[in-house]
Structure 1
Amino acid sequence: MVLGIDATNIRSGGGLTHLKEILNNADSGSICFEKVIVWSNSVTLSNLPSNDWLEKRTHNWLNKSFVFSFIFQIFLLSREAKKSNCTLLFVPGGTFLGSFKNFVAMSQNMLPFEFEEQKRYKSWKSRLRFKILFITQGLTFKRAKAVVFLTNYAQQFITKKINLKRQNQIIPHGISLEFLQTPKEQKNIADYSFSNPFQLLYVSLITVYKHQWNVVEAVLALRSMGYPISLTLVGGTDSESFSRFNTSLQHDTNKIINYRGQIQHKELAEIYKSADAFVFASSCENMPIILIEAMTSGLPIASSNKGPMPEILGDAGFYFDPTNVDSINMAIKTMLDSTQLRNIYSHDSFSKSIKYTWKECSNKTFNYLYSTAKNIIT
């Protein structure tokens, strides 16, 4: 059997990482398919491994704008898949409007389905984009032979939202081993000072549902209470959120907030290792990879109580409402005050995180795709 992979809309970010890692961690013995064909742009294909069983194909339209890629997917990809004798097409990008009937879709984006989160965006263009994605991804999931979800939360929320009756499977992403670090022995907050502060880290895109300004306000309040704390923020910013974020930084008279902007992913592991604790204030996630990176790095974590975060972190976190500054303040304060809980939680979350491997993700993905393909031909 031949497996096709529609990577026509995958160019960067988590989608590219997922595709690259499941292929990197697969071999001819584990994938079961005789051949795997990936359709994408040249840059994406250059990031994928080379194997005898893997064929990488592109097209002029796939190397232009997303509009041309979308047209290729709708009008040409199905024909190409049929010509190549594909038994099954895997769609990790979440949207497929072509005529090829035997495909498995994957859900990696919650924003199209969480209407309350969409309201945080003031831009009509952003809201329109989410409405379009809700229609296209909802239609894709309903037409698919099966849907792959990343978490129980995403599965339950989306299946209820669109009344999805299709077969589905939960297969979480993996985490790179470069983040692996056993938890450090936690020190009493009294061992820190204004010149040697407790270093809190938050890694994420600066955007409306990540609530960085609330974290900044909570940390500044703790500093005014006498806590020797600093905050490092890492991540790019979107145009809609930059002004609000920049305004929050202007209240930092003691210069305890360090915004490093967007950095290379390969540098992240060292940044995690230099921190004393992590904060994650997102209110909308499908699978919070960044949270799991922090868990794997052995850090105590103050986390949002929204979405799949409690599912991932379990009872090993200091939880808060990310929309409420006082709630964030109290969670971080509790974390700072309790050396014992920091020790317990960091070890517990580290233990939970090590099950998320790309090898496991790759094996589960290709096994599920193979079993689905077998059911199609029998």
Structure 2
Amino acid sequence: MRLGIDASNIGGGGGITHLKEILKALTVTINQFGITELIVFSSQKILNELTDDKIIKKTTFPEFNQGLIQRVKFQLLSYDKEIKKRCDILFSLTGDYIGKFQPVVGMSRNMLLYERNIWHEIKKPKEILRFWLNFKKQQRCFKNASGIIFLSDYARQYSNNVLAINSKQQKIIHHGLSPQFNGDVQLQKEITSYSFNKPFNFLYVSTVHVYKNQWHIVRAISNLRKKGYPVTLTLVGGVIFKPAGELLRKTIEELDPENQFIKNKGHIPYTQISEQYRKASGIIFASNCENMPNILMESMASGVPIVCSNKQPMPEFLKDNGFYFNPKDVVSIENAIITFLSKPKEREVMAQNNLKEIKNYSWDKTAKETFGFLSEVYLNHK
């Protein structure tokens, strides 16, 4: 089986991490899946990040290194011919392959393409148009696909309700987790053990967008301090949507102009984020749109107890091992944090349970399930 991986639309972030990790695991067990050749199609920038290996053929085209229009034109008019020369099956890593080559396996990665209520919050026609075009590309990809990979049951159910894809071969395959985030559960203390000089520090790691809700967390922390709770908040993550970044800035400026209890660190390199988890007393995760919440998984691995958004798929992964709130409701956030602070023994048990649960997630497992599924789809297609 000559397997092609279409990574032509990957820009970085979680997509490149996923690709690098499953390829690293595959090189050890490639014969197990009947793969005789593996070709990765992408820009030169992405290919340069992949480890050199004689098993992997890195392939690019001039259009993959140019602008969006040139890339899409090539994908529509010329890409199929190049795939047919080299491949027996294609894995669309971003689930947006728009050609006619078959068999194809697509992957669902981005729930922003489906959850239109967030489009209404964005209020930027250009941004909404981008989501709509990407949705149409995924719709076309999944319609032509022989198989589809989902990262969560929530994404699978949502996509099946929106698209007529129930007849397709489908499989839920979770992402793995880097061992750098593994931590130990610390003894959990009563809130009376803390003071405004030595506060209980919450950490929220996430990029800044309308569905991440950092400003609601800032307001909840401010309100709790006024009620006498010695809590602070550290924010880690760069701004990926300017209006959301501006709203966060204004909220911090209004409630904590001297930065006494809100520390906004902005973007921190991925390799340094685990250090922030180790410094935290508690973790907050307040997103209301995820496919598989990688940051929540990292939080679970850290051994630090969690207060979390009640929006799916967060409960699918965190289960009963967190204190939940409505991420759009400041009072709900406050109440969840108060309950969290009042139950040190319960949060310690939850953190211990999370360490057990997170052992089910590894990149080796992800790779084996992914390439096993691709092989299965290929044999069924034949």
TM over 0.5: yes
8 Å Cα contact 1:231-1:257 kept in structure 2: yes
Task: Output the amino acid matched with 2:49.
Answer: N
The CA deviation at 1:122 is 1.2
2-structure distance, mates of 1:19, 1:366: 12
Q: 1:72 aligns with which of 62, 67, 74?
A: 74
2:139 alignment partner in structure 1: 138
Q: 1:346 aligns with which of 351, 356, 359?
A: 351
2:256 alignment partner in structure 1: 252
- 1:298 and 2:303 are equivalent in the alignment: yes
Deviations 1:54-97 (A, max 9, x none): 1001111111123222222222221111111x110000111011
SS of the counterpart of 1:352? helix
- 1:6 and 2:10 are equivalent in the alignment: no
Deviations 1:84-132 (A, max 9, x none): 1x11000011101112121000000001111112211011111111222
Moved more, 53-62 or 71-80: 71-80
Structure 1: which 5+ residue stretches go unaligned?
none
8 Å Cα contact 1:201-1:232 kept in structure 2: yes
The CA deviation at 1:336 is 1.1
Task: Output the amino acid matched with 2:90.
Answer: L
For residues 109-124 of structure 1, the aligned pairs below 5 Å read 109-124=110-125
8 Å Cα contact 1:105-1:144 kept in structure 2: yes
1-structure distance, mates of 2:210, 2:365: 33
1-structure distance, mates of 2:302, 2:31: 32
2-structure distance, mates of 1:355, 1:40: 30
SS of the counterpart of 1:4? strand
Task: Output the amino acid matched with 1:23.
Answer: L
1:207 alignment partner in structure 2: 209
2:34 alignment partner in structure 1: 32
Q: 1:307 aligns with which of 271, 292, 312?
A: 312
Question: Identity rate of aligned residues, in percent?
Answer: 39
8 Å Cα contact 2:100-2:144 kept in structure 1: no
Structure 2: which 5+ residue stretches go unaligned?
none
1:125 alignment partner in structure 2: 126
Deviations 1:161-208 (A, max 9, x none): 113222211001011000011211212211111111111000001110
2:22 alignment partner in structure 1: 22
8 Å Cα contact 1:78-1:98 kept in structure 2: yes
SS of the counterpart of 1:199? strand
For residues 87-102 of structure 1, the aligned pairs below 5 Å read 87-102=88-103
For residues 333-372 of structure 1, the aligned pairs below 5 Å read 333-372=338-377
2:231 alignment partner in structure 1: 229
Q: 1:243 aligns with which of 223, 242, 246?
A: 246
Task: Output the amino acid matched with 2:172.
Answer: I
The root-mean-square deviation of aligned C-alpha atoms, in Å, is 1.2
2-structure distance, mates of 1:31, 1:56: 20
The CA deviation at 1:330 is 0.6
TM-score (norm. length: structure 2): 0.96
1:373 alignment partner in structure 2: 378
Task: Output the amino acid matched with 2:217.
Answer: V
2-structure distance, mates of 1:69, 1:298: 43
For residues 155-234 of structure 1, the aligned pairs below 5 Å read 155-165=156-166, 166-234=168-236
2-structure distance, mates of 1:23, 1:65: 27
2-structure distance, mates of 1:97, 1:154: 21
SS of the counterpart of 1:119? helix
Task: Output the amino acid matched with 1:4.
Answer: G
1-structure distance, mates of 2:317, 2:198: 32
1-structure distance, mates of 2:339, 2:285: 15
TM-score (norm. length: structure 1): 0.97
8 Å Cα contact 2:175-2:363 kept in structure 1: yes
Task: Output the amino acid matched with 1:5.
Answer: I
Moved more, 50-59 or 290-299: 50-59
Deviations 1:272-310 (A, max 9, x none): 111111101111100000000000011111000102001
Task: Output the amino acid matched with 2:268.
Answer: I
Name the count of aligned residue pairs.
376
8 Å Cα contact 1:214-1:323 kept in structure 2: yes
Task: Output the amino acid matched with 2:72.
Answer: F
Moved over 4 A (4+): none
Task: Output the amino acid matched with 2:318.
Answer: L
Task: Output the amino acid matched with 1:240.
Answer: P
Task: Output the amino acid matched with 1:33.
Answer: I
2-structure distance, mates of 1:323, 1:304: 9
8 Å Cα contact 1:41-1:58 kept in structure 2: yes
SS of the counterpart of 1:26? helix
8 Å Cα contact 1:93-1:108 kept in structure 2: yes
